[in-house]
Chain A
Amino acid sequence: MMPTKVAVLIMRGICKRWALKDCGSKVRKAMLAICACFGILPVAGARAEAKDGDVELGAYLSAECVTCHQVNAQTEEIPQIAGLDPNAFMAAMQAYKAKQREHPIMQMMAGRLNDEEIVALAAYFSTLE
């Protein structure tokens, strides 16, 4: 139960932070996302761990990211890719996908990534220096 409690606490924080009007189904979706990164639940039949991801697929998909995100240069509004924590990255993608986290471009881009693709990206990014 402990990790779930942690997740619930985090969710409350998220709801407060983004001042969500309607939390019902969004909470459930985000719960899944957050539980996934605590390694509690399987996602789409595969455990969401970066080491299991398809690095080559991730490399291909990452081409879409680097139009805006540089690998090794942090800019004011757009974070760099290298050094991202894989679990934090996967949770962020799931949160954008569930529209729990605000940003129209990221919601759109993450919105069409399936779970396998998110893991593949995490796998590829963890190979970067």
Chain B
Amino acid sequence: MTWNRRKFLGAATGALSAPAVLAEGSGKPRVVVVGGGAGGGTVARYIAKDSDGAIDVTLIEPSQVYFSCFFSNLYIGGLKSIDEIGHTYGALAANYGINVIHDWAVAVDRVDKNVTLAGGQVLPYDKLILSPGIDFIEGSVPGWDLSVQTKMPHAYEAGSQSQLLRAQIENMPEGGVYAMVAPPNPYRCPPGPYERISMVAHVLKATNPTAKIVIADPKPKFSKMALFEDGWATHYPGLIDWIGEDFGGGDVSVDPDQMMLTIDGEEMAVDVCNVIPAMKAGRIAELAGVTDGRWAPVNSADMSSKTDPDVYVLGDACQQGDMPKSGFSANSQAKVCANAVRGSLTGSRIFPPRYANTCWSLIAVNDGVKVGATYEATEEKIARVDGFVSQVGEDANLRKTTYEESENWYAAITADMFH
């Protein structure tokens, strides 16, 4: 057995049985949150808001403006502006005293309990909450890597990638081909690729009706499949060609220089190639040593890492059980986590965990559908309790109401994250 610094410090700390380390200066317990999305924004806001200044909360997020992945397909479809899906962090600082630092977290020392930023700053923590979202797995689509994302965008982290994809679609030649390489399970936002197809079809139907859409999919079926297929047949007949696993949709490679896509051995020229690769937890989770394979396993009771009780992982990056990787799920997990973290640092009441999710998708203008479920913590995982899904053949008014409801939800959840 070799003694590295980590093991040695771990042993030393145990021997001294030191009490919880308080932050230098303030004397208050410190929470550091990495990632300012639906998980990180919400958890920082709830801890700061509900502890009323008793906990120092620092939020580390590289971007000054957060563009939500949810509703970014509506931007691609021309139904929302980029400003409508962009949010800033000013209110979190002003309203709740959260220390927002725009930088990358590059290292986590779980023995000394601190986070190092790219700028060199070292932040001590009592509780660390990681909500870094996703990274792409290199090599999952042969021919594609991050260096070609400006040619073949993923647009699965919203912002400039969404703008690039929208511009490429608008500039497609008449009768051109938009191709999507869909991701394997599990991935962020299960209905997301198919809502995107709907929105691309919405644009092409109006501006480029002889264009074609091809989807190469490694899965035999997908989220809300019956609803999407029915909607596509209604709104965009003949426009969309979905090639699933059964027809070789998982056997794909791309050539970005030639703009060629090969599906099941057959090569085709494409004008836009939207490659959504396989995904894994955002890199900081791996650097912190809390991942097992692609994701970070967590305890269902409070979202704490199975590796370290003082580290929590929220949202897309965690492996929790039955909840889909969605903004709604991350927001729901963040509230359970905030309650548990606050309780352990200040002695406030800790209530039983409860989780929920709803995902709305837009198939065409005013044709919205939704799927949702509630979840409970079991010993083993976060387990599904109850749920619902929109039905094929619902009347147009209900679909319109569902879409309007999703817009209202968007206003509410972004307020819940940022205001």
Residues of chain A touching chain B, judged by Cβ–Cβ distance below 8 Å, are 56-57, 59-61, 63-64, 66-70, 73, 75-78, 104-105, 107-109, 111-112
Contact = CB atoms under 8 A, between A and B. Distances in A.
Nearest to B416: A66
Interface string B27-48: 0000000000000000000100
A90 B358 CA distance: 23
Contacts of A69: 412
B354 A78 contact: no
A66 B328 CA distance: 11
Contacts of A76: 404, 407-408
Chain A at the B interface: mostly helix, strand, loop or mixed? helix
A122 B386 CA distance: 24
A67 B415 CA distance: 9
Contact of A75 (B50, B356, B411): B411
B349 interface: yes
B354 A64 contact: yes
A64 B374 CA distance: 11
B404 A77 contact: yes
A111 B386 contact: yes
Contacts of A73: 411-412, 415
14 contacts: A59-B50, A60-B351, A67-B356, A67-B413, A69-B412, A70-B412, A73-B415, A104-B372, A108-B356, A108-B372, A108-B386, A108-B388, A111-B386, A112-B374
Given A60-B351, A66-B412, A77 B405 contact: yes
A112 B412 contact: no
B328 A67 contact: yes
Nearest to A65: B412
Nearest to A120: B351
Interface in B394-412: 401, 404-405, 407-409, 411-412
